[in-house]
Each structure stands twice: as structure tokens, then as C-alpha cells.
């Protein structure tokens, strides 16, 4: 079975797409409670992306390998060295989002 045909992969891709849409629909002008909700959703999205990245790096499927290269190329276009793209990158993202949550005013 090809990597992207896996039921588990399809389910997680759908979850990522749904979370992305929910985050975007929330917009930018949010109160503290809404902002926290948005950041919690962002954390979940990053966790799913990290898991997906790990899966594609371990896969032998050519399409999965191509996705790894696309992620690294996208990071390079944003000024990030390709060799810094990996699980630790997602950990840094999660740390940053957690810091944003912690810096929100208390309800």
C-alpha cells in the first residue's frame, strides 16, 4: 500500500486540514479565551504535523520521500537550513506556542 493511501495517514491529513481551517476561520481579532483556544488548536496541528513528518521520513514510498524534500525546500525558502528540519523543529514550534499561551493575560 502506498503511504498516502493508508487509512491512518488519510485520517490524520483530514484532521490537519480541519484544524487549519478552524484556526483560519477564527481570524485575528480575538479575546483572550478565543486566542487561547486558537493556540491550543495550533499545538494540536503541530503535533499532527510532527507525527506525519516522522512517518514520511521513515517511509520508503517515493511520494513520502518527495514530501520530505518539499518540506525541506519550503523551509529553505524561509531562510532555514534544510538540515535543521526535523522533529526538533516541531518541538521548537510547540515551545513557542506554549510560551504564547503562558504570556496571555489570565482570565
Domain ranges of the chain: 3-102
Distance, CA of 28 to CA of 6 (rounded, Å): 35
State residue 107's pLDDT score.
Answer: 63
To the nearest 10 degrees (0 to 180), the angle between helices 62-77 and 32-58 is 130
Distance, CA of 90 to CA of 52 (rounded, Å): 11
Mean pLDDT, the chain, integer? 92
Distance, CA of 8 to CA of 46 (rounded, Å): 17
State which residues of the chain have pLDDT below 70. 107
Amino acid at each position: 500500500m502506498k503511504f498516502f493511501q493508508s487509512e491512518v495517514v488519510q485520517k490524520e491529513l483530514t484532521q490537519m486540514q480541519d484544524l487549519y481551517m478552524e484556526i483560519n476561520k477564527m481570524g485575528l481579532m480575538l479575546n483572550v479565551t478565543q486566542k487561547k483556544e486558537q493556540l491550543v488548536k495550533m499545538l494540536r496541528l503541530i503535533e499532527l504535523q510532527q507525527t506525519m513528518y516522522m512517518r514520511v521520513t521513515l517511509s520508503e514510498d517515493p511520494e513520502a520521500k518527495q514530501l520530505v524534500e518539499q518540506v525541506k525546500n519550503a523551509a529553505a525558502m524561509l531562510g532555514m537550513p534544510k538540515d535543521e528540519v526535523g522533529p526538533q523543529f516541531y518541538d521548537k514550534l510547540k515551545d513557542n506556542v506554549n510560551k504564547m499561551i503562558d504570556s496571555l493575560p489570565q482570565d
